[in-house]
Amino acid sequence: MKTLEKSNVDKIFRAYDIRGIAGSEIDKALCFAVGYALSKFFKKICVAHDHRMSSEEFAKSLINGFTINGNKAIFIGMTPTPIVQFASRKLNCEAGVMITASHNPKEYNGIKVFRNDGERMNWEEVKKIILEEKQKIISLFSQSKEKEYEKLNVIPYYKEFLQNTFKFRKKYKIVIDGSNGPMGNLAKEILEGFGFETICIACEIDPNFPAHEPDPSKEKNTELCKKKVKQEKADFGLCFDGDGDRIIMIDEKSRFIPGDYLLAILSFLYEKPKVVTEVKASKAVIEFIQSRGGEVILERVGNVFVRKTMLKQSCDFAGEYSGHYFFKEYPVDDSLFAALKVISVIEKTNKPLGEIFDIIPKYYSSPEIRIKVGEKEKWKIVEEAKKYFSKLGNVIDIDGIRVETQNAWGLLRASNTEPKISIRIEGKTKSAYEDMLKKFLEFLKKQGIEVK
């Protein structure tokens, strides 16, 4: 079984999840093996899956592996990722497991594990169990039989939870872009339960993602939503990713609001907020939160890392440029909960989303520029960058290298989920931005990489 070979396991196990091409890199045998390994850590889990072609059979195979020694698994069925996290807490499970490749292209699939103790899943230990007990796992998998699992519907409990948590005075007109994933229709149903009017695009569940790539953190993937907000004169738009744990918002002026700027907007709910974000975050956002008496802690990229630091440091909330958010009172990676929090800001300030967005300073900045390189090569480039930029300014090296000068900063890091590196540049002035960008492009050119 090639998927259980060390070379493949090393390739698809990432810092905080598993991602690989369905069939050739991740299959039923690999999922069974992961389930078997997880049974060494937990006695009771709940399992769900997204709408990709292979996801349901992968979920059932993982359950087979987990329950082979008598452990208990509750099958939630097809659902957005936030629901399996909600279910694991509601049903007193030790963890929730989601079969999904999130925003990756349609040929991928993957596995996410959400521990309820706030700790990050130790994927190195999972790998070790699989590789050391590979022959036993292969034998057990070969003898295992297909089973039918009754699906437990937790959606009514989730709706009740949100209805009890949030109260709104006004009625809003909202455009929903579901990225052809499972969150679109659920968000529509719940938002209409608050009395809001909704207009849906890309809410039809389709594993081929025909509307656009299921990654709203790239502005090009929000164009349909922006146009619909303008056409319908909506109050704002909500853009979800493929598995529904990330959110990007469009204001009433049809403007894309980067994920880190939502952190600044959310800060209006708190006095002197204590916030965790990642090294990709805008300096304008950091300085704005600090100007309101807040504290900002920078962490490496990855929702598991910002969540863990939020809990450890007793912060009010946390979030990422890519659209992941967590809150002290509900530390779950839940895009819809985050959207309702932003609506709470709109209610508290009595201002449209765009007016709140305008309060926050804007610097000259690039989007996150992702560059495809080899899996091993990306780490070598990062190490070279640390040497190259070490004397340019203040260096933050918790994840790649972020170099800060008085008027600009630049970041180069390796992706945790793909064979890519990424850079992001920001400057308080156009000249400071262009100067920092030039330095990073010159470095990449020396590595044999041309960026257009």
DSSP string, 125-152: HHHHHHHHTHHHHHHHHHH------PPP
Q: What is the CATH number of domain 364-446?
A: 3.30.310.50
Residue with tokens 């598995």: 243
Domain extent listing, the chain:
2-143, 166-359, 364-446
Separation CA 268–CA 289 (nearest Å): 9
Q: Please provide the average confidence, as pLDDT, over all residues in the chain.
A: 95
**Does the annotation count 102 as an active-site position?**
yes
The CATH number fitting domain 166-359, selected from 3.30.420.40, 3.30.230.30, 3.40.120.10, 1.20.1090.10: 3.40.120.10
C-alpha neighbours within 13 Å on the C-beta side of residue 117: 8
Residues 265-310: tens digit of each pLDDT: 999 999 999 999 999 999 999 999 999 999 999 999 988 899 999 9
Terminal-residue alpha carbon distance, the chain = 42
- Sign of torsion over alpha carbons 433, 403, 258, 216: positive
Residues 81-118: tens digit of each pLDDT: 999 999 999 999 999 999 999 988 999 999 999 998 87
Please enumerate in sequence order all residues whose Cβ is within 8 A of that of 150, keeping only pairs 6 or more positions apart, or say none: 75
Split at pLDDT 50, 70, 90, the class of 15 is confident
- In a 10 Å sphere around its CB, with 0-12 CB exposed, 13-18 middle and 19+ buried, how is residue 387 labelled? exposed
Q: What angle do CA 349, 351, 352 make, to 5 degrees?
A: 135
* Candidate list 102, 179, 217, 365, residue with the active-site label: 102
Residue with tokens 């990225």: 179
Amino acid at 433: Y
- Exposed e or buried b per residue across 265-291, where buried means at least 16 C-beta atoms within 10 angstroms of its C-beta: bbbbbbeebbbbbbbbbbbbbbebbee
Q: Do domains 2-143 and 364-446 have the same CATH topology?
A: no
- Is 0.75 topped by the overall pTM? yes
Q: Tell me, which fold does domain 2-143 have in CATH?
A: Alpha-D-Glucose-1,6-Bisphosphate; Chain A, domain 3 (3.40.120)
pLDDT recorded at residue 289:
98
What is the full DSSP assignment across 42-81? Answer: -SEEEEEE-SSTTHHHHHHHHHHHHHTTT-EEEEEEE--H
Separation CA 258–CA 99 (nearest Å): 27
pLDDT recorded at residue 196:
98
Q: Which two tokens stand for residue 39?
A: 């049974």
Question: What is the rounded (10 degree) CA torsion for 256, 261, 266, 271?
Answer: -150
Please enumerate in sequence order all residues whose Cβ is within 8 A of that of 339, keeping only pairs 6 or more positions apart, or say none: 187, 238, 247, 249
Please enumerate in sequence order all residues whose Cβ is within 8 A of that of 23, keeping only pairs 6 or more positions apart, or say none: 54
Residues 30-75: tens digit of each pLDDT: 999 999 999 999 999 999 999 999 999 999 999 999 999 899 999 9
Task: With CA atoms as reference, report the closest residue to 181 among 245, 135, 129.
Answer: 245
Residues 316-338: tens digit of each pLDDT: 999 999 999 999 999 999 999 99
SS3 215: coil
